[in-house]
Structures are given as C-alpha cells and as structure tokens.
Amino acid sequence: MRVTGFSTQWVCGGLVLLLLAQIGLGGCVPTTPSPEMSPTSDIEAALSLAGIDSLVNDQVNVYGDISPEGLAGPNRSGWRSVAYQADGAYYAALMAIHTGDPHLADKALRCVEVGLAHQGDDRMFDHSVRDTLRFVILASAALSFLSQSQFGPPLAGRIDLALSRLVPTADLLLEATRDPERLQEARETANIVVGLAFVLTYLGDRFERDDLRSAGLALVHDVINNLQAEEGYYLEKNGWDTGYQMVGMRGLYFLYESVDLEEPVRADVLASLRAAYAWEASRIDATGRIDDAGNTRTANDESDSPEGKGINYGQAALTFAFLSSLGEGFEGAETYYELVREYCRRLPGQR
C-alpha cells in the first residue's frame, strides 16, 4: 500500500499545518468472484461495473494488506500513519459492497476502529491535520456506504459508535472554518472545502447537530457559487487542475449519496457535478489520457508538475464509475471509466 496526495497550508491554532484531501493508491490482488445480485443503490450500481474488483485492489490489497486486527499497510509492522488506516477502511468497504463479503466489511470497520485509537487530546489523529482530514473523510465515506448496504443492520452499533468518535474532530474542523483567515487559506483549493463540507454536513445530519450541518451546507454553497468556474472546473490555486477536479467531484458524490439533502440544495449539487463532469470529460482523449495542459498542481509527468505530483488515474477511474450511477447528465461516464481504467493499467506503477 502506498500513500500519495497533495496539500495546502492552513494556519490552525497558531501553527502552520497541512491539509490533505486527495487519497493515495497502490497494491494489487487476485480478484474474487462477486455474488449475482442486482444493484439496489447508486453505490452498488457503480461498484457492479466490470473491472471494479481489480481497480479497487490496485489501490489497496484488501485481502493481503490488512491484518485480521485491522492494521493496514506498513502499520502491520509498526505504527506509521493513520493515513494507511483511512485507505484500508475505504477500499475494504468498497470491496465488501462489491463482493458481499462480510469479512471485508469487518476489516473495513476494524481499520476505522484501529485508527480511532490514535485520536489525541487535541482531537487530531497522529497530531497531524493533513492525516486527520484524510482519515475523517475516508472513514466517514466508508461507514456511510457500509451503513447503506446489506451490512448496515448487523453492523449498525459499531458504525454508530465509530462515527460518534469522529464528532470531536468535526468540532475541531468547525472551529477552523469559523476563522476567516484559516478558511480563506483553505479556499485556495476547492477540493479541501468540499471535503470539509462533506464531513461537517454528514456528521451533523447523522447526529442532529445543526451547527455542523449548517456550517457544512454553507461550504457547499461556497463551492458551487464561488469556487466553480462557469466552464465547470473547481478552482485549485486560482486555476484548473484535471487531477484535483476528480477529488472535488468524488467529495460531492460522497455528500450527495450520504446526506438527505433538501431542495434546492440537492439539485444544485447534482447540477454542479454535471458541469464538473462535462468539463473533465472534455479533457480526456480516445486513449484515456487526461489532458494536463494548464494544470495548476498535477501533471502526467510528475517532473513537469508545479507541485511534483502526478494525476491519480486509479482514483479518476473510480470517480467516473461513481458518476455513472447518477443517470441523466452523466451519459458516457461508464465509457470514460473504462478508458481511464485501461490507460491507468498501462502506466508504470499504476495498474
């Protein structure tokens, strides 16, 4: 399992800290046959696409890279970072839903539970804002998706307990968004604001915390009305970035699928996703290569990137799979999923 990502500086509590909203990829494992069942939700529909099993396991080997106790990746041989727990939980949850395997659902929860043991008195994980945001976003998504699946009823108690332990961290993030200077720095990268919006809105909705939910919805409004260009791209460092665009879309998908949004917010989120999808799709060629010309942060050749970061093709393919489940306005998303997935498999280090 490898962790890659990107960050922006955010001043918090007088310290210069890093926020990370993109989630890393790595690893591979032989596939396991899926049970024959008809998808009953958008998430299940997305995860029923051909090749999903190998794509997910190219990110994290959920069979061999997570110990029975729930230690993920390098953490198995000695604690390294809660970021590995975030990845393990997220991808194990996706594979559990895809295969219907209760052992993988248990692994996903164990990854979260082990990560929660590293929450400090400062309400962060590993005393790192970067890893804290990574963990709370992916853990929330994993638990949300599991709760909506066949595993929701039998795992309800553990899921609720795990989510409740994320609330103090959400309170910490809420405090940060109330500081104009810190919020303005976060707004330099739209994907971070999307991640904050998802966590605050979802946990606020789940635990009937109006302060969290209201703050999250205010961030959703900010993203849609102020941090998305007319062309459809989300602003990253005052421009576009076809790599981080996928992170922003994925975060809004998490929100759309996890929260019972009222109108017109639900329609606004869907319209924003449609515009973002159309812009991103216009920058993908017939081979599945994503155009990086003009990107503010990532490039296909990392040495040419302003921040030394490559486009995460595995994550991009999975995001197109998610979007393919949303219906009208996302026609062709399954084709882009297939194109980008195949291009990804041809790249060194990304299968």
Query: Tokens 């919020």 identify what position?
Result: 183
* DSSP state string for 158-204: HHHHHHHTTHHHHHHHHHHHTSHHHHHHHTTBHHHHHHHHHHHHHHH
Work out how many domains the chain is built from and give that number: 1
251: left (phi over 0), alpha (psi -120 to 50) or beta: alpha
User: Pick from 267, 270, 228: which is nearest to 252 by CA?
Assistant: 270
Taking only the tens place, the pLDDT of each residue in 167-199 is 999 999 999 999 998 899 899 999 999 999 999
What pLDDT does residue 258 have? 97
The dihedral built from the CA positions of residue 250, 187, 305 and 3, taken in this order, carries a sign that is negative
CB atoms within 10 A of CB 265: 17
* Cβ within 8 Å of residue 62, ≥6 positions away: 29, 56, 88, 91, 92, 95, 104, 107
Which pair of structure tokens corresponds to residue 92?
A: 């194990």
- Does some domain include residue 351? no
What pLDDT does residue 350 have? 58
- Does some domain include residue 2? no
What pLDDT does residue 39 have? 59
- Does some domain include residue 195? yes
pLDDT < 70 regions, the chain: 1-39, 348-351
Q: Which domain holds residue 200?
A: 7-346
For the entire predicted model, the pTM comes to 0.88
What pLDDT does residue 4 have? 34
Instruction: Give 27-32's long-range contacts (Cβ < 8 A, gap of 24+).
Output: 27/1, 27/2, 27/57, 27/58, 27/59, 27/60, 27/61, 27/65, 28/54, 28/57, 28/58, 28/61, 28/351, 29/57, 29/61, 29/62, 29/63, 29/64, 29/65, 30/63, 31/57, 32/63, 32/99, 32/101
Q: Are 95 and 104 in contact (CB under 8 A)?
A: yes
What pLDDT does residue 345 have? 86
- Does some domain include residue 138? yes
Angle at 323 between CA 187 and CA 106, to 5 degrees: 90
> Half-sphere exposure (CA, 13 Å, Cβ side) for 108?
29
- Does some domain include residue 135? yes
- Does some domain include residue 88? yes
CATH number at residue 210: 1.50.10
The one-letter amino acid code at 254 reads: F
Nearest 5°: phi and psi at 57?
A: -75, -15
Residues paired with 17 in a beta bridge: 10
Which pair of structure tokens corresponds to residue 34?
A: 């899926």
What pLDDT does residue 58 have? 85
- Does some domain include residue 303? yes
Query: Tokens 């539970």 identify what position?
Result: 113
CA dist., res. 131 & res. 266, Å (int): 29
Instruction: Report the relative pairing of strands 309-310 and 15-20 from DSSP bridges.
Output: unpaired
- Does some domain include residue 1? no
Q: How buried is residue 249: exposed, middle or buried, by Cβ count under 10 Å (0-12/13-18/19+)? A: buried
CA 220 to chain centre: 16
